[in-house]
Structure 1
């Protein structure tokens, strides 16, 4: 599943990558978001189309229909691409598509040296550019307050499992052109289903490296969380599989015009 991610650049950086011709309704705060450990059930900056423009709002990550909220379990944060369009649970919000702009996400795998604690990895695009998760939700209208029942879920796929764990699931990450099509109100339900089931970016587009287990605690939020561990740096020098200049990635989010 996708249970933790990073969203640390300014909204202008994400909009630049999206390259949409639509205007943003109501404007937005362009200060760096600086969230390196976004956790479920917290409010997250979300993009969706409305009234011929784009709306940006902080919406709770997690949603469930009223009939499913009888227990004390937290609202689901993910929806399966294979069933999201046809299943009963998310039927109400399937037409309301959105994007989560992100800089990467975390996956955990078994640590052979420490069986009691899994090892987290940070996953990002090889290009170093922002990415867009496909999402759906009960979304606020432009200019209105966030409702108590508003929320969203990230759509996940398991075509090849997670990046590191074949039993895991990954968020559906869309390139800019498909991200724009995903939130376009004119995109049909059938086409939207095809996008999330077949057209998400594949593993070749990504790179990953070990990060500190501190990311497992939601109270830890600093930029150091996306920094590579000593082992990741050793692996990099030996095999050079990925670029791990996390400090530059974090700095660039503050310095872009």
Structure 2
């Protein structure tokens, strides 16, 4: 499961997504919300490690316009307030079959442009293990993670974002639903149906050998 996200150049990811949409679908491509990027995306360090309950820069589509906004990583649905910790991940198959998520999957689909992410090493599941695996793309450019979020105009305690995972066929494990810029914009289409979302995960999600994994230590993340 993803422990940390590394996000640095939000403007690069925002523009990569916009350009890919323009190149692939000139008749129905996304536009840019006036001033949205400059209003919501602040300069960041070259390696910005984001942990649960911190704010991440997310991209969404509203009325055909792309906009960027800050959302807390960790969603607290109203029906779980006080009974369970914020949700940081949501399996795609669960979201697809439960009506509880109807509003979220209709209005809350977002993308997060990242350099990569850290997760616990599969061969070292012990709680005392200090080893993490850093996953990034073998290609130049950002990776786009699919997410679902509640983001109210006026912040309330429920607002937050969860990363979407899917069942990877080769390993039978839940993996982050990640895309290139060319494929990611499909996730934001307002007419996306959930059988199409499943097909998107099966045939367009980033997988081996498109990803590179590097072992790391939790010590390198302390103090960030």
Q: Please classify the TM superposition score into its range, dividing by the shorter chain length.
A: 0.7 to 0.9
What SS does the corresponding residue of 2:201 show, helix, strand or coil?
Answer: helix
Aligned to 1:159: 168
Structure 2's unaligned 5+ residue stretches are 23-30
Moved more, 198-207 or 87-96: 87-96
CA deviation digits over 1:18-63, x for unaligned, max 9?
1244213432236542353211121111100002211211011111
The Cα of 1:145 is off from its aligned counterpart by 4.1
1:191 alignment counterpart: 196
> Quick check: 2:142–2:181 contact (8 Å CA) kept in 1?
no
Q: Which shows bigger deviation, 125-134 or 166-175?
A: 166-175
Q: Which moved more, 1:37-46 or 1:103-112?
A: 103-112
After superposition, the C-alpha distances for 1:186-228 in whole angstroms (9 at most, x for unaligned) are 32333233323543111211111122322564xx22xxxxxxx
SS in 2 for 1:208: strand
Distance apart, 1:92 and its partner CA: 3.2
Contact 1:107 1:122 in 2 (8 A): yes
Q: Give the alignment partner of residue 77 of structure 1, picking from 68, 88, 91.
A: 88
Structure 1 gap ranges (5+): 222-257
Higher CA-based Rg: 1
Provide the C-alpha distance between the structure 2 equivalents of 1:192 and 1:178, rounded to a whole number of angstroms.
12
Q: Distance in 2 between matches of 1:167 and 1:106?
A: 19
Structure 1 distance, partners of 2:69, 2:54, is: 13
Range moving further from structure 2, 177-186 or 129-138: 177-186
Asked whether the equivalents of residues 46 and 58 of structure 1 are also in contact (C-alpha less than 8 Å), the reply is: yes
2:76–2:159 Cα contact (<8 Å) kept: no
Deviations 1:229-249 (A, max 9, x none): xxxxxxxxxxxxxxxxxxxxx
* 1:120-147 C-alpha deviation (Å, 9 max, x unpaired): 121100013201001111124xxx4444
**Residues paired across the two proteins, number:** 209
Q: 1:52 to 1:25 in 2, by over 3 A?
A: farther
Determine whether 1:94 maps to 2:105.
Answer: yes
The Cα of 1:15 is off from its aligned counterpart by 2.0
> Residues 212 and 118 from structure 1, CA distance in 2 versus in 1: closer, same or farther, beyond 3 angstroms?
closer
**SS of 2:97 mapped into structure 1:** coil
SS in 2 for 1:82: helix
Structure 1 residues 91 and 187: alpha-carbon distance in aligned structure 2, compared to 1, 3 A threshold: closer
Change beyond 3 A, Cα 1:64–1:147: closer
1:204 aligns with 2:209: yes
Q: Deviations over 1:43-88 (max 9, x none)?
A: 11110000221121101111132112242x3211101122221124
**Which structure 2 residues correspond to residues 127-166 of structure 1 after superposition, within 5 A?**
127-140=139-152, 144-160=153-169
TM-score of the pair, normalised by structure 2 = 0.81
SS at match of 2:2: coil
Q: Is the 8 A contact 1:126 1:206 kept in 2?
A: yes
